[in-house]
Amino acid sequence: MRLWVLLSLLLLQEALPHVIGQPAKSKRPKEPGENKIKPVNKKVKPKTPKTKERESVDSSLKSQSILTQVMDKGNFQKLAATLSLAAGQSVELRCKGSNVTWNYPTYLDTFKDSRLSIKQLDRYSQLILANSTAADTGEYSCWLQLCDGNKCRKDETKTGSTYIFFTDKEELFVPTPSYFEIVYLNPDKPAVIPCRVTTPSAKVTLHREFPAEEIETDGTDIIYDAKKGFVFQHPTSDHKVPKGPPSTSIAVSSSRAGLSDRVHVVCTVLGEPDVDVNFRWQYPGQESGRPVIIQNFWRLINRGIGHTTRISKSVLLVEDFEDIDVGNYVCIAQNLQGETTVATKVELK
C-alpha cells in the first residue's frame, strides 16, 4: 500500500508541475540550435528480471507434465491430480516422447489383463484400458526414459501422473486379491491400513473388531486418504489389535459344480506364529454319512525382519459331486480366544 501511495504522489507531481499559491516560473528564451539533441556516451545498465519471475521460470523447467487424456473427436485434456470416471468406460491416455515407461495398478500385470494395451509410437506412447472396473482404480503415471547405450534413467523433468477413480455404486471399496492383509506397526514410520474407495467423496470409518468399537480419525495422528486408506502417522502399542478369535476366510473351487466333478472348499486363517487353530466342518450329506476328505496343515511365512505369519488351512474335498452335495459348506475355526464361522454355497450346474 505504501508503494502504491508513493507512485501516486510521483504521478500527481508530474501531472501538476505548478503548485497552487506559487507563481509559475518564467521560461528563458531558447538560443538558436538549443533544441538539437547532442550525442552523449551514456552506459545503459542491463535490466535483470525480478527474482519471482526467475524462480517461476526455473520451476517450470524442473518438471513438465507429458500426460494427457484423449477425449471425443480427437480433443486432448491435461490431467489433474485426480480424475473420476464411471466404471465401464474406456480410457485412453497419451504420454509425449519416443521412449516412455508406464506405471499402473499392479494387478493388471499380475493377471495379464487383455483389457490393457500399451503402444509406443514415434512421438508418443498410448495406454488404452477398455471396459474399466472398480478394481482399476489407482495411480496411472508415465515418464520419459533417457538412455545411453544399455543404461537408462528416468527423466525427472518430463513426467505425468494422475489417480483415477472408477466409480461404481455396487463396489464402493476397491476390490483386492486377498481378503486379509497384515499391517505391521513401526513407531518410526507411518502405517497404512488399506481401505481405498472408488468414489473420492465417500465417508469412511474405521472399526476395531475386538473389542468392537470405532477408531476415530483426528486429522493429525490418524488421517484418511481415499488413495491409500487410514494412515497412522505415529503408531503405538495402543493401536495394536488385541488377540481374538481367528481371522478366517473361505473359498471354493467352483460355486456351481456338475455331477461327478471334484470340489475343493478351503478354509484359511492368518495369525500369530505360536497360536494353534482347530477346524470343524458342517456340510451337506454329513448326517447321512456322505464321505469327504478333510486335510489340515499350516506353515510359517516370513514377512520381513522380525515379522512372521502363520497360515493355517483346512481343505474339504468332494471327489464325486452328487445331488446330495448341493448346499452350504460351513467352516468353524477356533483358538484359545474364541471361534469364527464362515460359509459358502455350492449349487448344481
In a domain, 186, yes or no: yes
Domain total of the chain: 3
In a domain, 41, yes or no: no
| pLDDT, tens digit, 9 for 90 and up, residues 138-169 | 999 999 999 988 889 999 999 999 999 999 99
Mean pLDDT in residue range 74-93: 93
* Number of Cβ within a 10 Å radius of residue 312: 22
Distance of alpha carbon 33 from its chain centroid, rounded? 79
Same domain, 284 and 324: yes
Q: Is pLDDT at 235 greater than 70 in this prediction? A: yes
68 phi and psi angles, rounded to 5 deg: -135, 160
Mean pLDDT in residue range 258-278: 92
Same domain, 135 and 190: no
Same domain, 232 and 199: yes
In a domain, 298, yes or no: yes
Cell numbers describing residue 93? 491416455
Q: Is pLDDT at 209 greater than 60 in this prediction? A: yes
In a domain, 101, yes or no: yes
Percent of the chain residues topping a pLDDT of 90: 56
In a domain, 96, yes or no: yes
DSSP bridge pairs for 84: 165
Domain boundary among 124, 145, 167: 167
**Lowest mean pLDDT segment, chosen from 44-58, 202-216, 315-329:** 44-58
340 phi and psi angles, rounded to 5 deg: -130, 135
In a domain, 30, yes or no: no
Query: What's residue 120's pLDDT?
Result: 95
Q: Is pLDDT at 20 greater than 90 in this prediction? A: no
Q: Residues 97, 103, 108, 112: what is their CA dihedral angle, to the nearest 10 degrees? A: 50
Task: For residues 179 and 273, give the distance between their C-alpha atoms in angstroms, rounded to a whole number.
Answer: 19
9 phi and psi angles, rounded to 5 deg: -65, -40
What does 273-323 look like in DSSP terms, one character per residue? TT---EEEEE-TTTTTT---EEEEEEEEEEEETTEEEEEEEEEEEESS--G
- For 250, the enclosing helix (H) or strand (E) is strand 247-252
**Measured CA distances, 117 to 74, 90, 140 (Å):** 19, 12, 13
pTM: 0.57
Percentages helix, strand, coil for the chain, rounded to the nearest 5? Answer: 10, 45, 45
CB 197 within 8 A of CB 173: yes
Beta strand 327-335 with 338-348 is antiparallel
In 3D space, the residue among 138, 91, 149, 86 whose CA is nearest the CA of residue 118 turns out to be 91
Mean of the per-residue pLDDT values of the chain? 82
Q: Would you call 32 exposed, middle or buried from its count of C-beta atoms within 10 A (0-12, 13-18, 19+)?
A: exposed
346 phi and psi angles, rounded to 5 deg: -120, 130
* CATH code at position 158: 2.60.40.10
Same domain, 291 and 207: no
Same domain, 180 and 238: yes
In 3D space, the residue among 231, 235, 244, 236 whose CA is nearest the CA of residue 270 turns out to be 244
Query: What's residue 233's pLDDT?
Result: 92
Q: Would you call 134 exposed, middle or buried from its count of C-beta atoms within 10 A (0-12, 13-18, 19+)?
A: buried
Task: For residues 88 and 131, give the distance between their C-alpha atoms in angstroms, rounded to a whole number.
Answer: 5
In a domain, 37, yes or no: no
Same domain, 149 and 211: no
Same domain, 270 and 323: yes
Domain boundary among 220, 242, 264: 242
In a domain, 14, yes or no: no
Q: What are the residue ranges of helices labelled H in the chain?
A: 2-15, 51-62, 107-110
Domain boundary among 242, 264, 283: 242
Domain containing residue 153: 67-167
Same domain, 321 and 279: yes
CB 138 within 8 A of CB 228: no
Same domain, 75 and 146: yes
CB 324 within 8 A of CB 231: no
Same domain, 237 and 264: no
**Lowest mean pLDDT segment, chosen from 56-65, 111-120, 326-335:** 56-65
Same domain, 220 and 129: no
| pLDDT, tens digit, 9 for 90 and up, residues 315-347 | 999 999 999 999 999 999 999 989 999 999 999
Cα-atom radius of gyration of the chain, to the nearest Å? 35
Same domain, 218 and 148: no
Tell me the pLDDT band of 49, cut-offs 50, 70 and 90: low
Q: Is pLDDT at 67 greater than 90 in this prediction? A: yes
